[in-house]
Amino acid sequence: MTQYQLLNALLHFLCFFMGAGIGSFLNVVIYRLPRGISVNQPRRSFCPACKYQIPWHHNIPLLSWLLLRGKCANCGAGISARYFGVELLTGLLFYGIFWRVGGDWALIREWGPQVLLLWLFASLLVAGSFIDIEHFILPHEITIGGTLLGLAGATWVPAMMGEALHLRGFMMALASAALGLGGLWLVVELGKLAFGRKKLRFDFPTAWSVTQPDENEPPVVTLGEEKTGWADIFSRASDRMIITAPALSVNERSYENVVAELWMEKLKVRIQGGGLEEFALENVTHLQGTTTNIIIPREAMGFGDVLLLMMIGSFTGWKCVLFTVLAASVLGTLIAGLSRLLGRSEWGQKIPFGPYLAAGAMIWVFGGPEILEWYMGLLRHRA
């Protein structure tokens, strides 16, 4: 084997294990960022159960989890397979991007900057996806911070946008980010109008209440045996939950056969005959009753998804934005439908959309233009 061949083989090896090492850091981000813990302090990873700071020889990407059989070496507590999965996924993505864009040591100056930016892009998507799966949030550090990195990257490497000039690369990235932000925001608003209400009917009066067990935490809505967080129902001031209530108790007042409208900051009680009473929720200390019919507001998707698509546009351009929305919708429909048919989830269950957007964006990176060209060829053939 020549020295040139040896360098190429070593480069292939290093790209995968570099990705696995970055995946190890992403596990830190996924665990700490949504919990408000610094990703720098403590510097070492620690066991979530016993807080033991893990030494380097027990923190080798992929190998340590396998050799320790997914357990903490100090306390024996189980370590989630997610840690191994993130490292493996990131390693495969890094190698796949290198294979797709680069692949030759002699041409590293040509493909190196673009590969670095796509590695950064993939890392942001992996971290955001797993945080969204676990916590149903997409932190601004990833979406907005990632957008700024994407704009800077397109200015540095305008080829990311298919441009040759640095300024044109920046302007195209900015326009693509705006398309992602504005386009998906419009989808969210239209989805709210079309599908923004969930109607439930009960054969017999069912108990419901609003309580706040901890004054430092948002209230909890209880319907029968099911408890739902306040933020899962109310995301904007115009959201309202409409309850047909055979019986209702507000503070020390009691009502029969009324319709209650629960808003983010107020309660309206419509009494038979046209009367209306309104309460500021900050003054309501007791709220419970029964219901036979309830309408619950719901979002088509969260605003974090809108910001994620903005970030995707800043890295990959406007064509990827459109492709990602379509691919994510198809993937989400297929996977959610299959899960429900197999009994793994329930209709109406909250499902994070961020991972589907991330998957759609990565499909574009690995073959989106070819898929788009193939599809357009089918349309031209039919015409």
Say if residue 262's pLDDT is above 80. Answer: yes
Say if residue 94's pLDDT is above 80. Answer: yes
**What's the mean pLDDT in 77-103?**
91
DSSP state of 318: H
**Which pLDDT band holds residue 36 (cuts at 50, 70, 90)?**
confident
> Strand (E) positions, the chain?
197-211, 220-223, 226-229, 240-250, 253-263, 266-271, 275-280, 287-297
**What's the mean pLDDT in 82-100?**
95
Cα torsion angle, 36, 38, 42, 48, sign: positive
Phi, psi of 252 (to 5 degrees): -110, 10
Amino acid 298: pLDDT: 66
Amino acid 374: pLDDT: 84
Say if residue 308's pLDDT is above 90. Answer: yes
pTM listed for this prediction: 0.77
Say if residue 161's pLDDT is above 50. Answer: yes
> What whole-number distance in Å separates Cα of residue 261 and Cα of residue 309?
34
**What's the mean pLDDT in 129-158?**
94
Amino acid 376: pLDDT: 78
Say if residue 29's pLDDT is above 60. Answer: yes
Q: Let me know if 333 is exposed, middle or buried by CB neighbors in 10 A (0-12, 13-18, 19+).
A: exposed
Smallest CA-to-CA distance from 132 within 307, 354, 292, 330 is with 354
**Which pLDDT band holds residue 46 (cuts at 50, 70, 90)?**
confident
Lowest mean pLDDT, pick from 8-17, 239-248, 256-265: 8-17
**What's the mean pLDDT in 277-289?**
90
Helix 303-316 and helix 166-195, axial crossing angle in degrees, nearest 10: 150
> What whole-number distance in Å separates Cα of residue 236 and Cα of residue 192?
11
**What's the mean pLDDT in 223-233?**
81
Of how many residues is the chain composed? 383
Buried b (16+ CB within 10 A) or exposed e, 238-276: ebbbbbbbeebebeeeebeebbbbbbbebbbbbeeeeee
Are 30 and 129 a contacting pair, CB within 8 Å? no
Say if residue 202's pLDDT is above 80. Answer: yes
| DSSP bridge partners of 221 | 210, 228
> What whole-number distance in Å separates Cα of residue 124 and Cα of residue 121?
5
Amino acid 267: pLDDT: 92
Extract the tokens encoding 326: 């379509």
**Amino acid sitting at position 89:** L
Amino acid 74: pLDDT: 84
The label of the residue with tokens 């379509």 reads 326
**Which pLDDT band holds residue 383 (cuts at 50, 70, 90)?**
low
Say if residue 145's pLDDT is above 90. Answer: yes
Amino acid 234: pLDDT: 78
Lowest mean pLDDT, pick from 19-33, 163-177, 366-380: 366-380
| DSSP bridge partners of 269 | 260, 277
Extract the tokens encoding 175: 């326009």
Say if residue 347's pLDDT is above 50. Answer: no
> What residues does each domain of the chain span?
136-194+302-383, 197-297
| DSSP bridge partners of 207 | 290
Amino acid 158: pLDDT: 95
**What's the mean pLDDT in 198-205?**
85
Reduced to 3 states (helix: H, G, I; strand: E, B; else coil), residue 361 is: helix
**What's the mean pLDDT in 263-275?**
86
Say if residue 306's pLDDT is above 50. Answer: yes
Amino acid 348: pLDDT: 45
Mean pLDDT of all residues belonging to the chain: 86
> What whole-number distance in Å separates Cα of residue 369 and Cα of residue 320?
9
> What whole-number distance in Å separates Cα of residue 68 and Cα of residue 81?
12
**Which pLDDT band holds residue 369 (cuts at 50, 70, 90)?**
confident
